[in-house]
Amino acid sequence: MLEKLKTSLINSPVIKRGEYNYFIHPISDGVPSIDPHMVEEIAEYILQITDIKKVDTILTIEAMGIPVANALSLKTGIPLTIVRKRPYFLEGEVELSQSTGYSKGALYINGLKRGDRVIIVDDVISTGGTLIALVKALKTMGVEILDVISVIGRGTGYLQLNEVGVEPKILVTIDVSEKGVEIKNVFGNE
């Protein structure tokens, strides 16, 4: 189960970004090159754990949620909506603040309306700062969140989502230290 993802995660280099131990992996960084068979493996797995038929749009966040979310879109014919890091000043655009363990910025939602049913797909959840801000904004907009799926999870940031009534599905949970990456859990194996 998710063998390509697990093997490659264990082999990820870890660098320092300030105090933050940052792992580098194709799915979360596009570096080194992304193996399409690994993306396929991940997309197949996600389709087994979510009820995709009810979804109006697959929602992801620029940049590194895109490869997996796009694979899901191609496989299902369900449109892809990308939360961007730049504004377009369109009517109804919603701005939110993003904060991760190593960066701060703004995100912009376009193309969603009240009542739309979405799944959120992202590459990594760490502090939870990105997804909590997005979930809060979507709830205010009246968008229905059917599932929140992260390919990789690290730390306890996902618990913040529990506080707003969301239990994210994290495919592979890891520990990251200066020594490297360790696999802690695979979704469905709890």
Ligand X SMILES: O=P(O)(O)OC[C@H]1O[C@H](OP(=O)(O)OP(=O)(O)O)[C@H](O)[C@@H]1O
Binding partner selected for residue 73 from ligand X, ligand HPA, none, CB under the kind-specific 5 to 8 Å limit: none
Tell which one of 61, 69, 82, 137 touches ligand X (CB under 6 A). 61
3-state secondary structure at position 42: helix
Q: Which is nearer to ligand X, 62 or 93 (CB)?
A: 62
Does residue 96 interact with ligand X by CB under 6 A? no
Binding partner selected for residue 78 from ligand HPA, ligand X, none, CB under the kind-specific 5 to 8 Å limit: none
Where does this chain bind ligand HPA (CB under 6 A)? 22-23, 28-29, 100-101, 124, 126, 176
Stretch of residues binding ligand X (CB under 6 A), selected from 2-10, 41-49, 100-108, 171-179: 100-108
Q: How many C-beta neighbours within 10 Å does residue 72 have?
A: 24
Q: In the beta sheet, which residues pair with residue 183?
A: 174
Nearest to 111 by CA among 84, 151, 131: 84
> 8 is written with which tokens?
């490659």
17 to 56, contacts with ligand X by CB under 6 A? Answer: none
Binding partner selected for residue 157 from ligand X, ligand HPA, none, CB under the kind-specific 5 to 8 Å limit: ligand X
Q: Which residue has the tokens 């038929």?
A: 53
CA of 177: how far to CAs of 15, 32, 157, in Å?
A: 9, 20, 16
Give DSSP secondary structure letters for 98-122: EE-SS-EEEEEE-S--TT-EEEEEE
Which residues here bind ligand X, judged by CB under 6 A? 61-65, 100-101, 103, 122-130, 157
